[in-house]
Each structure stands twice: as C-alpha cells, then as structure tokens.
Amino acid sequence: MSLGRRVRTKTDEEVEIIRLSSLLVGRTLAQVAARVKPGVTTLDLDAVAEEFIRDHGAEPGFKGYGGFPNSLCTSVNEAVVHGIPNDTPLQNGDIVSVDCGVLMNGFYGDSAYTFEVGEVAPEVRSLLDATKKCLDLAIEQAVVGKRIGDIGFACQQHAESLGYGVVRELVGHGLGRDLHEAPEVPNYGRRGNGPKLVDGMVLAIEPMINLGTREVGQAEDGWTIVTRDGAVSAHFEHDVVVRQGKADVLSSFKDIEEILKTK
C-alpha cells in the first residue's frame, strides 16, 4: 500500500464530515452485532451492512476498492483482515473481525470490531479484551507533540507483555478523502520515532493482534491475510483526530456494545 508522503491535515469542518462517516460505520457495525450468531453467514452480514449504508445516503467504502468484492471485510478465526464474505455458517466458538468503511459527503469512515460467535474460549475472550486495550492505549498517544512511533510502541508493549504477536505487515493509516492516506500507523514502534503528530491529523488506528506468533501470510483467494500458525487473531479500529492533550475519537463502539450487552 503506497500512501504517498503528504499528510493532509483536516479543517474542523472536514473533521465533522469524517465524524458523520465514522459514526455511520459504528451504526452499521451495530446492525452486524445484532445478527452475529451461530448459523449466520458472513455474506448475510455483508448484505445487511450494504443495505444499511445505502439507506443512510452513503456508499460502501470497500466495495470495489482495489477490486474488493464486498462491503465488509469479514475475517474469521485465523483470518486477520481482508476476509471476503462467504456462505460458510459461523459456528459457536468462532470469532469474526468485521471491518467496515463508508464514503459519505466525499469523506471516508473506517472502523472494525471483532465479535464472539456464541461462547468463545476464555483465552480468545482475553485476546479480544487485550486488543481493545491496545487500541485504547494507542489512542492515548495520538496527541499533538507525540510521534507515530509512540502510538505503535504503546500497542506493541501491551500486546507483547501478554505474549501475543503484533502483526507488522498491515498498518493503520491517515483517513479523509482517500480511504488510505499518509501517514502509515504501525502497531509496533519505538518511542519518539517517526512523523510528528500535529493538530488536525485524522488517523485510523487498528491493532491486529495474534494469539500466537506475529507471522502472517496471504490465503489463496488473494485477499485474506491469515496467521501462519493458524492461531486466532483480533482486530479493532477507531478513527481519531489528533488534538492537544487528548485525541478526539470520531468513530464509536457505543451502539455495538449496547447491542452486545443485550445478547
């Protein structure tokens, strides 16, 4: 993925437009959350998401992007990201990472959540909790004066302290009129390294954390990224704007987690 080098910081007006796109992604993922259960297929989830996005005046951001065929990336168990929805029913004990993008008013939103299907093993639940914590710790670093490496360091340090593998081949990114803009936002890094974070930078921060080693490869479909050791992988993603003192999180898991509480 080549993002170019120029970071396009956003005006306050542009940030509010991106916020609307990001929030629509969260609401779409809540529709998905309500339907994830054993027996449902990822193609079912994709259809629900596409209809919801279009009903709200937006375009699915991923459909056709680089030739991707669907509106959601659905990555089950050892699939890390970029899974293509299919007609295999989800099974009790699976996890499915659902990544969703929308394009509305000329700006993208991009957010992801990993769902449990029925009852998952305790070690899998712990991985999900830890990956979400990695995201929170990374977001804490997305403030004026820090650097990209501080974000990655925070994520990597937490994940590796628990013995998990941090995927390196795929990274977060800037976000705006393009789905992927500069800078790249790795989930690993060294403190004080990399591009400086400045006010108005919009970043998609998206830890991909493996229960086993960090090595990944590509499946035969040419899209799906899978763990080499076959262990499960989790993925959570928020869109944030870098501000003084505290990042402003543009996307939201609130609707998703309200649905999950009632299940």
User: Given the complex with Mg ion, which of 177 and 191 has the nearer CB atom?
Assistant: 177
Query: Segment contacting Mg ion (CB under 5 A): 41-49, 84-92, 138-146, 198-206?
Result: 198-206
Applying CB under 5 A, among 50, 110, 116, 181 the residue interacting with Mg ion is: 110
Among 18, 120, 204, 240, binds Mg ion (CB under 5 A): 204
Cα→Cα distances 18→75, 106, 136, 230, Å: 25, 9, 20, 36
Single out the segment in contact with Mg ion by CB under 5 A; choices: 21-29, 102-110, 116-124, 249-257: 102-110
Shortest distance, CB of residue 116 to Mg ion, whole angstroms? 19
The span of 24-32, 138-146, 160-168, 203-211 binding Mg ion (CB under 5 A) equals 203-211
Q: Choose the binding region for Mg ion from 27-35, 52-60, 85-93, 236-244 (rule: CB under 5 A).
A: 236-244
Binding residues for Mg ion, rule CB under 5 A, total 5
Closest contact distance (angstroms) between CB of 163 and Mg ion is 25
When the beta carbons of 84 and 261 are compared against Mg ion, the nearer one is 84
What is the chain's Cα-based Rg? 17
**Cβ-based burial of 20 (10 A; exposed 0-12, middle 13-18, buried ≥19):** middle
| Assigned token pair, 169 | 């081949």
Q: Give the shortest CB-92-to-Mg ion separation in angstroms.
A: 26
**Residue number with CB closer to Mg ion (229 or 248):** 248
Among 2-10, 157-165, 196-204, 212-220, the segment contacting Mg ion (CB under 5 A): 196-204
Least distance CB 112 / Mg ion (angstroms): 5
> Other C-beta atoms within 10 Å of 4: how many?
12
Long-range contacts of 169-174 (CB under 8 A, 24+ apart): 169/216, 169/225, 170/80, 170/81, 170/208, 170/216, 170/225, 171/206, 172/203, 172/204, 172/205, 172/206, 172/237, 173/1, 173/3, 173/203, 173/204, 174/3, 174/7, 174/8, 174/201, 174/202, 174/203, 174/204
Binding mask 142-171 for Mg ion (x = CB under 5 A): ------------------------------
The residues in 15-74 that bind Mg ion, with binding defined as CB under 5 A, are: none
| Phi and psi at residue 78, to the nearest 5° | -75, -5
Among 14, 50, 78, 99, binds Mg ion (CB under 5 A): 99
Return residues touching Mg ion (CB under 5 A). 99, 110, 112, 204, 237
